[in-house]
Amino acid sequence: MANTVLYPGDTIGVIGNSANAAMLVTTARKMGLRVGAYGPDETSEALQLADFKAVGTRKDHDKLQHFAESCAAIVYDSEQVSTDVVKFLSQYTRIPQGTDMLEMMQDRLLERAFFEQLNVNIAPYATIINLDDVYQSVNSIGYPCVLKPIQKEWSHGRELVIKTQTDIAKAAGLLDWGTYILESQIAYDREYSIIVARDQDGNQQDFPITETASVSDRPVKTWVPAQVDDAVASEIHRIANEVAKHVSYVGVFEVSFYLTSSGTIYVKKIVPAPSETGYIFDASATVNEFEQHLRAIAGLPLATPEILTPAVTAAFTTDQLSAIRTQWQLKSNWHFTFYHLKKQASDEVMGHISVQGETVKTILDQLDDTGIWNTPAES
């Protein structure tokens, strides 16, 4: 791919509705780029912060075309962006992230086929069409396991954890929605992620490995430096490099892993966009994931990420806001980020704190002492 450079004053577009969209807009503007944002809500943070905004839905083809023609390149903010929209926009402007990786990671069967092609460990799974498939597959998958729709966008409220045979009957109504996978729940000791940047020529830079504590499969705390064995770190980097070699993608992406007590590494998922675990580098490193993402998109040389200080990020929900407010005047080393997302449910993430300190353990102990995040001690 020819290296196409964006210079200060050139126009870049941002699409998507996650917290990442606003962070991409502000970072691009700081780099001197003119920024447009497209979305259905003109009051959203990203559209409010952009130099110009285009209000429309994923089906407004005239508006999408006009937006694309106004931008030298477009970036998408998360794995939830419609591949149909990205494919449509790519007819009229450059979208360096492309659609291949996005499409693959939105479909659990395509995702697993990709992992199998790379010959990496993934949780045992089976394709499920009807209830009989569940009864037959659970013998080889084992308990506990999770029933998930193959299209990730339909996951909310349509997943089922199966702990015993009596739970299987609850799957009958879910299977009316389409094809599912039944996946083993891996018993793991630690969870790691690595953010990888890939430029237009296929060169890559890995961020330092992060360690994460998740609740209901969502990262709640992330920290660096990670406590990780050299052999495990080497394998994480090797797998990340294999992923980068086999995708047509420009920008940053995340590969996350489970590590079992026996030392086995399983690939959990890939996020073809800036990710929540990458927020840690804003507080701890020489470059953050949003600048590195835009450096790759704009044809700049990739920076070398290096850790400057131990740090932890912790996400907080609307339910936890009162407890966060209590800490507002108490914690000199807490840095607050609010996402300003609209219509948030009580259990949805509305922001995160970034905390720096002498060691990861002292920071985690400080967070545990507040009682806000009642997860077990992680380090």
A 10 A CB-CB count for 202 gives 13
Rounded Cα distance, 148 and 168, in Å? 13
184 neighbors 141 (Cβ within 8 angstroms) = yes
257 neighbors 266 (Cβ within 8 angstroms) = yes
Q: In DSSP terms, which residues pair with 145 in a beta bridge?
A: 162, 184
306 phi, psi to nearest 5 deg: -135, 140
Rounded Cα distance, 336 and 22, in Å? 15
Q: Is the pLDDT of residue 153 over 80?
A: no
Rounded Cα distance, 212 and 229, in Å? 15
265 neighbors 235 (Cβ within 8 angstroms) = yes
The predicted structure's pLDDT at residue 342:
79
Q: Is the pLDDT of residue 205 over 80?
A: yes
A 10 A CB-CB count for 162 gives 20
Rounded Cα distance, 249 and 242, in Å? 13
SS3 of the chain: helix, strand, coil, percent, to 5? 35, 25, 40
Under the banding of pLDDT at 50, 70 and 90, the label for residue 378 is: very low
Condensed to tens digits (0 to 9), the pLDDT of residues 323-352 reads 999 999 999 999 999 998 877 777 889 999
Residue 312 is classified by DSSP as E
User: What's the whole-number mean pLDDT along residues 200-212?
Assistant: 96
The predicted structure's pLDDT at residue 178:
85
pTM over 0.85: yes
14 phi, psi to nearest 5 deg: -125, 130
Residue 307 is classified by DSSP as B
Cβ neighbours for 166, distance < 8 A, ≥ 6 positions apart = none
The predicted structure's pLDDT at residue 219:
86
259 neighbors 192 (Cβ within 8 angstroms) = yes
Residue 364, token pair as written in the block: 């985690």
The predicted structure's pLDDT at residue 379:
37
Condensed to tens digits (0 to 9), the pLDDT of residues 120-147 reads 999 999 999 999 999 999 999 999 999 9
Rounded Cα distance, 144 and 67, in Å? 47
Residue 376, token pair as written in the block: 């077990």
Query: In the predicted model, what is the mean pLDDT of the chain?
Result: 94
User: What's the whole-number mean pLDDT along residues 12-34?
Assistant: 97
- Distance in Å from the first CA to the final CA of the chain: 43
Rounded Cα distance, 56 and 225, in Å? 42
Could you tell me the CA-to-CA distances from 166 to 61, 83, 137 in Å, in that order?
A: 48, 38, 15
Condensed to tens digits (0 to 9), the pLDDT of residues 164-174 reads 999 999 998 88
Condensed to tens digits (0 to 9), the pLDDT of residues 228-274 reads 999 999 999 999 999 999 999 999 999 999 999 999 999 999 999 99
Residue 377, token pair as written in the block: 């001690």
The predicted structure's pLDDT at residue 175:
86
Lowest mean pLDDT across 52-61, 195-204, 214-223: 214-223
Residue 299 sits at the vertex; the CA angle it makes with 46 and 209, to the nearest 5 degrees, is: 75
Rounded Cα distance, 305 and 281, in Å? 9
Q: Which residue has the tokens 């285009």?
A: 54
Condensed to tens digits (0 to 9), the pLDDT of residues 347-368 reads 889 999 999 999 999 999 999 9
Under the banding of pLDDT at 50, 70 and 90, the label for residue 376 is: very low
Q: Which domains does the chain have, with CATH numbers?
A: 11-95 (3.40.50.20), 124-184 (3.30.1490.20), 187-308 (3.30.470.20), 309-373 (3.30.70)
